[in-house]
Amino acid sequence: MNRRTWLIIVAIVVVLTFGFGFRLYNMGRDISAENGGQTRSSGVATIGGPFNLVDQNGKARTEQDFRGDYMLIYFGYTYCPDVCPTELQAMSNAMDILPADVAKKVQPIFVSVDPERDTVAAMADYVPHFHPRMLGLTGTLEQTSAAARAYRVYYSKAFEEGEPKDSDTYLVDHSSFIYLMGPNGAYIRHFNYGETPEKIAEGIEKVVANQG
């Protein structure tokens, strides 16, 4: 390959890398701007909203089922090699760190962004590895994309070079935030990727202590 081709490839990689990083950075800033914001000014997009999904036991679930409880909610996919397992484990450990009276008010939820592979059966195999109370929600492609859109979750199938588009071993790039939603369903705050279980538990406890 000649030098010119090489430079073009390097330029493309740089643009893609920074473009993606900048997008995630802005996504983080958008969300941070709302941090702690039960009150929202107009023009600031909200996080959360209605969803129609199915849990790992095959039971239909909407956001209304969780009114009165806090939802600790994370979007990802069961084939995820590292990010999702790390975050789901952090959520689960945080649940175990919480005092029992606080933990019982919190429903940990995992929502698939890859429903084509994350069937109800796949979710039933997967979520119990993390926490006995964790619910794994999936649905049709339309249902899970609507839920992801409501939570402003970014995700995109990522095929390796030369990997056929009908391959079932693709990865899914996705944003990684753990959202804490209030008993009325409104966004309260989020936890960034890599937050420790202790910090997550501390953050939840503080909110519950203030709001009951």
Residue 127 engages Ni ion in binding (rule: CB under 5 A): no
Give residue 71's identity as a one-letter amino acid code: M
Which residues lie below 8 Å from residue 44, measured CB to CB, with a gap of 6+?
Answer: 33, 34, 37
In the bound state with Ni ion, the residue whose beta carbon lies nearer, of 27 and 83, is: 83
In the bound state with Ni ion, the residue whose beta carbon lies nearer, of 83 and 102, is: 83
> Residues in the chain, how many?
212
Residue from the set 48, 76, 108, 115 that interacts with Ni ion by CB under 5 A: 76
Q: How far is the CB of 8 from Ni ion (least distance, A)?
A: 31
Residue 113 engages Ni ion in binding (rule: CB under 5 A): no
Contact stretch for Ni ion (CB under 5 A) within 37-45, 71-79, 151-159, 197-205? 71-79
In the bound state with Ni ion, the residue whose beta carbon lies nearer, of 84 and 123, is: 84
Residue from the set 47, 80, 95, 103 that interacts with Ni ion by CB under 5 A: 80
Burial environment of residue 150 by CB neighbours within 10 A (0 to 12, 13 to 18, 19 or more): middle
Give residue 72's identity as a one-letter amino acid code: L
Question: Minimal CA–CA distance to 72: which of 177, 162, 209?
Answer: 177
CA distance 93 to 200: 9
Question: Which residues contribute to the site for Ni ion (CB under 5 A)?
Answer: 76, 80, 83-84
